[in-house]
């Protein structure tokens, strides 16, 4: 595989041909991404949630608040965003998942998150962007800090992963703080 740092990262609408690859990664109970994205959730619940999500994707057209992460023509993950209530208040919560571990550690997630932040600021009324992770997900935390996000909340020892306690950590970024 070429150097990940040199491969193009693109956020694009989901296409019908993407669904088999997405289904392979999202519904595999042994997929490595599950060790990093909400690993405190019961595996069976995550599997059921992902199966329902794939049925939803099969039945609906792509949405502006969700994109696939495409690296050199390969779907390797996805991003999403949700407006926090009340609507029109300017607070958007972001999500990112790189489900293919071959694309971890080479800056793909950071570049995808940077593109998603810019897209969100370009196409929404966002004043405040947030996302939440757990303190064991050090790659996600580093990517966020590199982009200018700040820790804004921490719930100590709120997550149990592999018999060990971790903090739930929320990060935020204000529109005026964004310097791409």
Counted residue by residue, the chain has a size of: 180
Query: What is the band of 100 on the pLDDT scale with cuts at 50, 70, 90?
Result: very high
- Any idea what the Cα angle at residue 117 is, between residues 110 and 48, rounded to 5°? 75
Beta strands 66-71 and 164-174: pairing type?
unpaired
Task: Please state the φ and ψ torsions of residue 2, each to the nearest 5 degrees.
Answer: -65, 170
- Is pLDDT above 70 for 52? yes
Query: What is the band of 6 on the pLDDT scale with cuts at 50, 70, 90?
Result: confident
Q: Is 172 exposed, middle or buried (0-12, 13-18, 19+ CB in 10 A)?
A: middle
Which pLDDT score is estimated for 180? 84
- Is pLDDT above 80 for 170? yes
The pLDDT tens digits for 53-96 are 999 999 999 999 999 999 999 999 999 999 999 999 999 999 99
Which pLDDT score is estimated for 1? 60
Question: Shortest CA distance to 111 belongs to which of 180, 6, 9, 18?
Answer: 9
Average confidence score pLDDT of the chain: 94
Dihedral sign, Cα of residue 74, residue 130, residue 145, residue 33: negative
SS (H, E, C) 7-69: CCEEEECCCHHHHHHHHHHHCCCCCHHHHCCCCCCCHHHHHHHHHHHHHHHHHCCCCCCEEEE
User: Which percentage of the chain shows pLDDT scores above 90?
Assistant: 89
Q: What is the mean pLDDT of residues 159-165?
A: 96
Question: Shortest CA distance to 13 belongs to which of 77, 55, 75, 63?
Answer: 63
Domain layout of the chain by residue ranges: 4-177
Placement of tokens 């958007």 in the chain: 92
Neighbour count for residue 164 (Cβ, 10 Å): 9
Q: Say which CATH topology domain 4-177 has.
A: Aminopeptidase (3.40.630)
- Is pLDDT above 90 for 3? no
């Amino acid at each position: 595989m070429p150097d990940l740092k040199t491969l193009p990262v693109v956020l694009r609408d989901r296409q019908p041909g993407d669904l088999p690859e997405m289904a392979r990664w999202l519904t595999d109970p042994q997929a490595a991404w599950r060790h990093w994205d909400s690993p405190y959730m019961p595996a069976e619940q995550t599997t059921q949630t992902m199966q329902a999500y794939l049925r939803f994707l099969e039945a609906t057209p792509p949405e502006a608040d969700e994109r696939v992460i495409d690296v050199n023509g390969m779907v390797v993950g996805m991003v999403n965003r949700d407006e926090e209530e009340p609507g029109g208040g300017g607070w958007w919560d972001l999500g990112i998942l790189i489900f293919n571990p071959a694309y971890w550690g080479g800056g793909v997630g950071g570049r995808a998150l940077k593109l998603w932040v810019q897209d969100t600021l370009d196409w929404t009324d966002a004043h405040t962007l947030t996302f939440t992770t757990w303190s064991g997900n050090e790659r996600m935390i580093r990517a966020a800090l590199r982009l200018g996000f700040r820790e804004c909340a921490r719930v100590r020892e709120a997550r149990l992963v592999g018999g060990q306690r971790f903090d739930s950590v929320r990060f935020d970024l204000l529109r005026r703080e964004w310097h791409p």
